[in-house]
Structure 1
Amino acid sequence: MTQNNTNDATMSDEDLQDLVASTDTGGRNPSNEQVVKLMAWVALAWSIFQVWIASPFPFAVGWGIFSSGDARSIHLAFALFLAFLAYPAFKSSPRRRVPLLDWCLAGVGALCALYPLIADSAFIDSIFGIRLSNRPSDPNQYDIFVSVIGIIMLLEATRRALGPPLMTIAIIFLCYTFFGPHAPELIAWKGSSFGGTMDHQWLFSEGVFGIALGVSTDLVFLFVLFGALLDRAGAGNYFIKVAFSLMGHFRGGPAKAAVVASGMTGLISGSSIANVVTTGTFTIPMMKRVGFSAEKAGAVEVASSVNGQIMPPVMGAAAFLMVEYVNIPYFEVVKHAFLPAIISYIALVYIVHLEAMKLNMQGLTREGPQKPLKWVLVSWAMTLLPIIALCGGLFYLSEAYQILQTMEARLAAVIAVMAVQFGIFSTFKKKASEETYAKNISVGAMVLGNLIVGAFGLFFAVDILESLVSDTLFPWVISLFLLVAYLILARYSSGYPDLVMDDPNSPVLSLPEVAPTVKSGLHFLLPVVLLIWCLMIERKSPGLSAFYAAALMIFILLTQRYVFAYFRGEGTMGKLKQGVNELIEGMIAGARNMIGIGIATAAAGIIVGAVSQTGVGLKLAALVEFLSMGHIILILLWTAILSLILGMGLPTTANYIVVSSLLAPVIVSLGQQNGLIVPLIAVHMFVFYFGIMADVTPPVGLASFAAAAVSGGDPIRTGFVAFFYSLRTALLPFLFIFNTDLLLMDVTIMEGIIVFFVATAAMLIFTAGTQGYFITKSKIWESAALILVAFTLFRPGFWLDYVVPPYDDRPGSEFAQIMGNAQVNDELRILADGQNDVGDPVTLTMIVKVAEGETGLDRIENYGLELLVNDKGETFVDGIGFDSAAEKVGFDYDQVIVDVGVPMDRPPRQLFYIPALMLLGFIVVWQRRRHAKGTQNAQA
């Protein structure tokens, strides 16, 4: 086992907690107990308010119903009040007390946030005789004054909570709004009055109180609270221990376990920095202990923690924003985001494996006899089984329900699931008698397998139950069912000792056993299952789904201490009180975690408001088009670079709001002008991925600085190594722009499974190519060949387009004739000359799906187009149906149709897999021979 010298410049646990606090929850810790209690009570009130407005209770009792605008005002008021109390103004500002100025700023900020609610209330109307909603776009002097003060308060709170970057960007956009008419011609705009700008930014739902803050209010808070409650209950430590028990014995085991643990923690965490410190304090010292340098250990943790932000269902709150911006159901967002995130994590595990092979590392030892090879394979299979099962089936579960419409089919499905579970149990019980290690692995595998298979059976069983009981009775029956399930799981888990948080600085001599570790916290999975059920099967709103999951988590926090003590035969005195205290602590922690997110979404609203008011997005598109000279790859590269720059120093939520508002329209418009039709969700995923990469990229990669603080390594070097490890994440956005199969768009179940295996293999090959190590150290030409193989597997259509063009180009005058000869639902590519929003000539590319109709003209009309032929014989657009398919794809008046592309019969693009796999086989044989020769020489 290799042992590197470690750097002693690591931070203490107290310093690390202060780092997280100063970044996520506020670095001030007043010594005055009354002030601490006040802050805690305000945070608790915020959590209670958010749970209340997310619940169905206000509508049931007819009281406490808040409009969306009112809820946003209250949400921001809480965030501003706590931000000024929790975050010191400067590094030299007092940490142990709250200065009088901060108390004043907190009160003024909260009142300004509440002003839109107060000014539009019936009470104010009764005094002054006018409401805010009765004077749209006509603010009075009080409105303007409060708006100015409110924006100043928000910018200062942003500086304190998130640092200068977001505040600086917001100020730049405000300055552009005011001074835009005097800017250079390339970026100039007509301008707006001071009052008009304040009205747009503060008083109505265009700027600060826009979509971003609405998503934070309605959705993000509940998910952050859910994660905080899970962590307070012990689920965070449970996820880490499970990951180490499963992965720790492999080569570079602690690093692989760090990847898996960070992935699981990322499911419930909205902060990459908190993720780094939470798992990193445990994983980084162990990675260094088995041979990783301080920089590489920190880089692995950074890469895996930042990847947690692309992992559904939360995605650093970006998933909920995508629902609003892309206007598709939440289920679809998660479906599209899941496969790239899983592939990226698998590739990161492989990177760790390659690093371990380079250094000839060994895994940590497991208690009991050593494992034979066949049980190593079983362990790997059982570790990957949940991933494969989820990729192959979870997101098609609702489609499978369409097949199981009859009661007989559902009963048959339940019986089949029970049979499979019995088979799993019998097989592993028989195998477990062979040897001790086998028993350990088999029981863990049986638990995981039964959880997966049993989940499907549970879904079917509940579906049957829903069809048998009335709508009024069903929620009570489900509540009883959840209570029974919780008690059964708690009874089962109470037979195993609680998982204790290990000291990261103490030596780890052995790994926890798989079976007891997995079984000790099975009840933590129940709220997660409920969340998935509500989101994926019941298709409830994300807010209501999070409420149900959080409500169950609240019940578990209240009762788990008492229930476990009861089942263990221990004293139950004071256990319920302990549960109440832990619940209050969890709700306070959830609110504290939301301060930065609430401030970030509000501040990002200033940028969104400026973009919508000034139209600067068109100017940015012109800049990118100028720099890229019309080449689509250069367009994507420049967009990626701008996303990295704009995302520097921003938290995930604000990061996505900024880059999506500015750069997503750039790809859509320029892509359409250059022959690339990209689905909007793919565009938003592209800019989101590169915005997230800014957390890694030096010199402002905050997660890299946090990891370096834990490891004692150099933060800049850590950032560069983490960026190199994250190349596979940077590759994915380019791939799913050109190959939307990776986003599971318009693919069947079998196609989705094939895409998963092919894309995973391609990503692993790409990883080996960029790491310079496959079976042995690669030569330069071997690395290049591996990257070429990976590219071919990812996008075989690229080579096919050179062999057989995808379209046969016909003149626009034949459009009607081609439509008449085509089959219904065939896709034609149309090139049309027109003008952009500023009157410059452009050529647009549109994909037209052939509509129903007897003749070509009928089909064109049914599609929503009216065409005319001018004196020159040109076919141009004379009319467009409202909300028609033609309008949605980009047709506009007076566009001239210059080219119609008819799809050509082509061989399947997968044929190019054959030469790619042949080249891969040649590299495998070549490297195996070189590796064998090197081994023989070493032995000699």
Structure 2
Amino acid sequence: MTDTSSNQGSLSTAELEDLVASTDTGGRTPDNKSIAIFMAAVALIWSLWQIWIASPLPYLIGTGVFSGREARPIHLGFSIFLAFLAYPALKTSPRHRIPFTDWILAIVGSLCALYIFIADSSLINSIFGTRLSDRPGNPGSFDIIVASIGIVMLLEATRRALGPPLMVVAIVFLGYTFLGPYAPGFLAWKGASFGAVADHQWLSSEGVFGIALGVSTGLVFLFVLFGALLDKAGAGNYFIKVAFSLMGHMRGGPAKAAVVASGMTGLISGSSIANVVTTGTFTIPMMKRVGFSPEKSGAVEVASSVNGQIMPPVMGAAAFLMVEYVDISYFEVVKHAFIPAIISYIALVYIVHLEAMKSNMEGLPRAVQPKPTKLALLSMGITISAILAIGGAIYYLFMLFQMLGTNLNQLIAVLIVFALQAVLVFGVKKQITDEQKLLGVVSTGGIVLCNLVIGAFGVFFLVGFITEMAGPVFAPWVIGALIILAYVALVAICAKVPDLVMDDPNAPVTALPEPRPTILAGLHFLLPVGVLIWCLMIERLSPELSAFWAVALMIFILLTQRQLFAYFRKEALSGTAARGFKELIEGLISGARNMIGIGIATAAAGIIVGTVSQTGVGLVLAELVEFLSQGQILLMLIFTAILSLILGMGLPTTANYIVVSSLLAPVIVSLGQQNGLIVPLIAVHLFVFYFGIMADVTPPVGLASFAAAAVSGGDPIRTGFVAFFYSLRTAILPFLFIFNTELLLIDVTPLEGVFVFIVATAAMLLFTAGTQGYFMAKSRIWESALLILIAFTLFRPGFWMDLIVPPYEQKSATEIEAVLGSVETGTEIRLIVDGLDDVGDPLTITAILPIESDGTGAERLEALGLELLIEDDKVIIDNAAFDSPSEAAGLDFDQVIKQVLVPSDQPARELLYIPALVILGLIFLMQRRRNPSGAASSATVS
């Protein structure tokens, strides 16, 4: 590949670096060394302060504790100060010096942000005898002046860091606050005074300093910092090399490796643009080398990099906002998002495979030839079976010893688990030594995977044993010591293989790196990720505390890994400590600079949220969208998706999510209830989130597409459209999990969850094959249509079954007591109810009532908290008891029950899988007959 600067229609290397810097960290690099050091020092202090407030240390020593009202202004103060120093005002503004006006703006803006903290301090109270919090809703003249200047400074910082769109949207909402009486028709409202707006937007916690900025302060910063430290330690290159060593030999292997590498680097970079450049600089030239066009190679990188924001356990900033908006734990958010994210990535790998099949591409040469496809599939099957068998055996073994009830028996169970792991470790070592296949077919990778599963069981049991034996006081110290020992042991293993060096993407590739030494070279990077996942998923610690412990471990790793590698390799230790300390400082500075844009975005989005809460415009816009959709939830979802895509052309993902979810999420839930569809709030928020991540893909403004085109030399607009087409599988998933919440693992057992994952993955692959026009061979139009229809049937078999056999029998409202007395316990009945909404307009809803107790119809009515008044053929709700199932279902006084729906004896919806699979088999046979040579190879992604 030639230098990108010579590619027609692409950005030069310098312009590419400037694009990434200006988007993520600020494009200004002062020549004055003292100023550069000062900016770095401010960023460093910001990172250290964020680590301090997240740590348990302030609470232990009883000093240095910051409340949310105190921490948010400081967080925004740092963001605004660095934004004016790091981001030039205009394209023509100086990049290598900071104008005097920017210094003034930085100081004034940060002081305005800090005003809430300063005005509430004990010093101000002792001087003036009053604090800001002592006069809520009654700001003084000086308060209003500071708030007004602060909002202007924030809007200018937003324009610099994020571009004009978010600033313009915020100004429009602010203007509406003042000009409400002059707004047309249904948008008109009484308006607000200058003081009221200043107080609501800046001095209270309803606007700028609201939930969004609070999430940025308490959660997002630590996760971004964790990623920056992980990257500075070398994990980014490690993930790329591992992906290429494992997948580079497959058809279209570099593109598949790019997908996997981008998914893994999603742990490191919260920025899709930085992700594109980090992995794309290496992967895009590789993809072009095996036959991908510049546009397709850039589009694959864009689609996989943007999807990094939906990949658990470390998702984008919007995921942390969901914790606050939906009021569920982060563990629940991750659980609900897991299957759609995995399916989306699998489908993208399959898209790459189909593109390779269309062009008959080959992979890159591998140093050690892999096993034949059939043997590899057999190996995979045996490995998965072994994992399930070993995992189940260990689980029941531990349950048996736990039933015996002594700590000694639990310790014996732990020892047995690790003894089994030791046997498998010996098996790996023996296989590597004499190059024999264990059982003839099980690969080294399979044994390693079994080891990981067994190790996870062992760690789980061991931590439980230590916690019980050492008690809550000493257990953390013991566990911490074991983590350090595990880290040292992993470094000892890593030190036996050479360090990974980033290859020159322009150099010819003679062979891919060998998987074993590549994987071993960075095993210690997995430990902090494991600690983060453990704290989030197993210990159920708060996201802040989980991220703090992961960051603390990363700091320890950066300070010690160089010395440990030198020690185990018997190299000189001189200079290793200084190098590790330098990398730590650079990582802390990088993490803070990566947060500038996010801090500004969440604060500016707070202006929009504040306007919605102050004016009630959210209800007005919701009614407008509801009117346009004519009460049809599918149209409502389409309008929501379109709104997200339009806003996504200029707003970052986080701001897009805040705006759309604040306006439309409650309306979708309400409209779903009116249509008899119970839509969980988390499903709606994930729907908005998924379309929000398209912000960096959507033409013509998708910055990630421009960055990828700059590397590939392709046309940016065409790259964006191809990336958008590749991302269709991401766009279709939100519609599916709105109507099939099992995809979000809502109300399913673990076994049902496995079944849902398998079926949904197969359906998504068929949908991908249908939209790509290629399955076993090039598909005819009717074959593509049938593949999409089969995919829909696998996703929603209930849609067709409801057309064949209605799911509910209609009963008269006057029969409700008899119906309740006849249905089985555990059944859910539905009531069609007429009533009035909050503003007195007629409203029809569908209420779902679970029958959870035995008894007569009257007893069950009482258990539901429902009192009825029957007048002739009219059934009126006389009372829905407080905190009862009836109230939770949306029933209220004076509503009229029109119909009662009782579940019918509908056949299992899964029966419709049979005709769908039969049709799929016929398509398979027809396409295999047309392309017999490619059938075998296309049956697997390898």
TM-score normalised per structure 1: 0.94
Q: Is the 8 A contact 1:391 1:756 kept in 2?
A: no
- Distance change (3 Å), C-alpha of 1:136 and 1:885: farther
Aligned to 2:62: 62
Q: Alignment RMSD, CA only?
A: 3.0
Asked if the contact 2:120–2:132 (Cα under 8 Å) also holds between the matched residues in 1, the reply is: yes
In the other structure, the counterpart of 1:717 is 718
- Please give the alpha-carbon distance, in whole angstroms, between the structure 2 residues aligned to 1:235 and 1:70: 35
Report Cα offsets for 1:576-619 as digits up to 9, x if no partner. 11111111110000000000111111111111111122222222
Partners of 1:7 and 1:377 in 2: CA distance:
42
Cα distance change, pair 820–239 in 1 and its aligned pair in 2 (3 A): same
SS of corresponding position for 2:701:
coil
Q: Structure 1: how far apart are the matches of 2:30 and 2:387?
A: 45
Corresponding residue for residue 3 of structure 1: none
Distance 2:500 2:18 in 1: 25
Structure 2 CA distance for partners of 1:905 and 1:40, relative to 1, 3 Å: same
Where do residues 224-303 of structure 1 align in structure 2 (5 Å cutoff)? 224-303=224-303
Tell me the equivalent position of 2:830. Answer: 829
Map Cα deviations across residues 697-716 of structure 1 (whole Å, 9 max, x no partner). Answer: 21122211121111111111
Which residue is equivalent to 2:3? Answer: none
In the other structure, the counterpart of 2:162 is 162
Distance 1:349 1:933, change over 3 A: closer
Offset of residue 685 of structure 1: 0.8
Deviation at 1:358, TM superposition (A): 0.5
Residue identity over aligned pairs, in percent, reads 68
CA contact (8 A) 1:43 1:592 kept: yes
Cα–Cα, structure 1 residues 155 and 382, in superposed 2: closer, same or farther, change >3 Å?
Answer: farther
Task: Choose 559-568 or 855-864, whichever is displaced more.
Answer: 855-864
The alignment partner of 2:133 has SS state of helix
User: What residue is the counterpart of 1:749 in the other structure?
Assistant: 750
Instruction: Give the match for residue 876 of structure 2.
Output: 876
Contact 1:828 1:848 in 2 (8 A): yes
- Corresponding position of 1:37: 37
Distance in 2 of aligned mates of 1:171 and 1:401: 65
Alpha-carbon deviation of 1:422? 4.9
Aligned to 2:564: 563
Structure-1 separation of matches of 2:515 and 2:386 = 15
| Residues 1:494 and 2:528 aligned together | no
Aligned counterpart, 1:619: 620
**1:391, 1:749 → 2: CA distance?**
14
Contact 1:441 1:514 in 2 (8 A): no
Q: Write out per-residue CA displacement over residues 775-831 of structure 1, whole angstroms, 9 at most, x where no aligned residue.
A: 000000000000111111111111111111111122333333333333343211122
Provide the residue aligned with 1:660 in structure 2: 661
> Partners in 2 of 1:289 and 1:516 — Cα distance?
25
Matched position secondary structure for 1:295: helix
Q: How far does residue 426 in structure 1 lie from its aligned partner after superposition?
A: 5.7
Q: Specify the SS of the correspondent of 1:832.
A: strand
Within 5 Å, give how 1:730-809 maps onto structure 2. Answer: 730-809=731-810
**Shift in Å, 1:18:** 2.0
Relative to structure 1, is the Cα distance of residues 140 and 19 closer, same or farther in structure 2, using a 3 angstrom cutoff? same
Residue 413 to residue 877, structure 1, CA distance change in 2 (3 Å)? farther
Distance 2:113 2:382 in 1: 52
The list of structure 1 runs, each at least 4 consecutive aligned residues, that deviate by more than 6 angstroms after superposition, is 378-396, 398-406, 436-441, 933-936
CA contact (8 A) 1:370 1:437 kept: no
Comparing 369-378 with 471-480, greater Cα deviation is found at: 369-378
Alpha carbons 2:9, 2:715 under 8 Å: kept = no
Name which of structure 1's ranges 382-391 and 757-766 shifts more when overlaid on structure 2: 382-391
Change over 3 Å in CA distance of 1:435–1:15 after alignment to 2: farther
Q: Report the CA distance shift for 1:672/1:402 in structure 2 as closer, same or farther (over 3 A).
A: farther
- Give 1:893 shift: 3.1
How far did residue 932 of structure 1 move? Answer: 2.9
Residue 507 of structure 1 deviates from its aligned partner by 2.3
Corresponding position of 2:639: 638
1:841 corresponds to which residue? Answer: 842
Matched residue type, 2:49: F
Query: How far did residue 56 of structure 1 move?
Result: 0.4
Paired with 2:325 and 2:247, the residues of 1 have a C-alpha distance of 39
**Corresponding residue number in structure 2 for 1:812:** 813
SS of the aligned residue for 1:501 comes to coil
Counterpart in the other structure of 2:102: 102
Secondary structure of the 2:473 match is: coil
In the aligned structure 2, how far is the partner of 1:893 from the partner of 1:197?
37
* Map of 1:898 onto structure 2: 898
Q: Is 1:82 paired with 2:82?
A: yes
1:689 and 2:690 aligned: yes
Say whether the 8 Å CA contact 2:402–2:409 is kept in structure 1: no
Alpha-carbon distance in structure 2 between the residues aligned to 1:808 and 1:400: 47
Q: Which amino acid in the other structure matches residue 268 of structure 2?
A: I
Report the counterpart of residue 148 of structure 1 in structure 2: 148
Summarize the Cα distance change of 1:282–1:382 in structure 2 as closer, same or farther, 3 Å threshold.
Answer: farther
What is residue 539 of structure 2 aligned with on the other side?
Answer: 538
Distance in 2 (alpha carbons) for counterparts of 1:122 and 1:706: 49
Instruction: Tell me what 1:517 maps to.
Output: 518
How many residues align structurally? 929
Letter in 2 for 1:793: L
One-letter amino acid matched to 2:705: S
Shift of 1:639: 1.4
Distance of aligned partners of 1:791 and 1:863 in 2 relative to their CA distance in 1, 3 Å threshold: same
Gap regions ≥5 residues in structure 2: 1-5, 937-942
Which range is displaced more, 827-836 or 273-282? 827-836
CA contact (8 A) 1:392 1:752 kept: no
Q: Closer, same or farther in 2 for the Cα pair 1:201/1:477, shift >3 Å?
A: same
Change (3 A) 1:405 1:71: farther
Deviations 1:321-360 (CA, angstroms, capped at 9, x unpaired): 1111111111111000011000000000000000000011
Contact 1:617–1:666 under 8 Å retained in 2: no
2:581 is aligned with what amino acid?
A: V
Q: Which deviates further from its counterpart, 635-644 or 126-135?
A: 126-135
- Amino acid in structure 1 at the alignment position of 2:329: P
CA contact (8 A) 1:868 1:876 kept: yes
The corresponding residue for 2:594 is: 593
The answer to whether the Cα contact below 8 Å between 1:810 and 1:899 also exists between their aligned partners in 2 is yes
Flag the 1:389–1:455 CA change in 2: closer, same or farther, 3 A: farther
Distance 1:658 1:360, change over 3 A: same
Q: Following the alignment from structure 1 to structure 2, what is the Cα–Cα distance between the partners of residues 356 and 123? A: 68
SS at the partner of 1:291?
coil
651-660 or 141-150, which moves further after superposition? 651-660
* Letter in structure 1 aligned against 2:323: V
**Letter paired with 2:546:** S
Q: In the alignment, is the contact (CA less than 8 A) between 1:668 and 1:678 conserved in 2? A: yes
Could you tell me whether the CA contact under 8 Å between 1:382 and 1:449 is conserved in 2?
Answer: no
Q: CA deviation at 1:931?
A: 1.1
Q: Does the aligned pair in 2 maintain the 1:393–1:749 contact within 8 Å?
A: no
Question: Secondary structure of 1:842's partner?
Answer: strand
Q: Could you list the per-position Cα deviations for residues 438-479 of structure 1 after superposition, in whole angstroms to 9, with x for gaps in the alignment?
A: 999944443343223312211111111111112111111111
User: Which structure 2 residues correspond to residues 282-361 of structure 1 after superposition, within 5 A?
Assistant: 282-361=282-361
Is the 8 Å Cα contact of residues 766 and 786 (structure 1) preserved in structure 2?
yes
Task: Give the Cα separation in 2 of the matches to 1:388 and 1:323.
Answer: 33
The 8 Å contact of residues 365 and 512 in structure 2, kept in 1 or not, is answered as yes
Q: 1:280-306: per-residue Cα shift (whole Å, max 9, x none)? A: 111111111111001000100011011
SS of 1:877's equivalent in the other structure is strand
Matched residue, 1:699: 700
Secondary structure of the equivalent of 1:694? helix
- How far 1:502 moved relative to its partner? 1.6
Superimposed CA distance per residue, residues 388-447 of structure 1 (whole angstroms, 9 cap, x where no aligned partner): 999999999x99999999758855763564465356446555655675999999444433
The answer to whether the 8 A contact 2:208-2:604 is kept is yes
Q: Which residue of 2 aligns with 1:527?
A: 528
- SS in structure 2 of the partner of residue 539 of structure 1: coil
Match of 1:182 in 2: 182
Against the structure 1 CA distance between its residues 493 and 383, is the aligned structure 2 distance closer, same or farther, given a 3 Å change threshold? farther
Alpha-carbon contact 1:170-1:604 (below 8 Å) kept = yes
Secondary structure of 2:179's counterpart equals helix
1:311–1:338 CA contact under 8 A, matched in 2: yes
Over 3 Å counting, the alpha-carbon distance change for 1:238 and 1:12 in structure 2 is farther
- Asked if the contact 2:213/2:606 (under 8 Å) is kept, the reply is yes
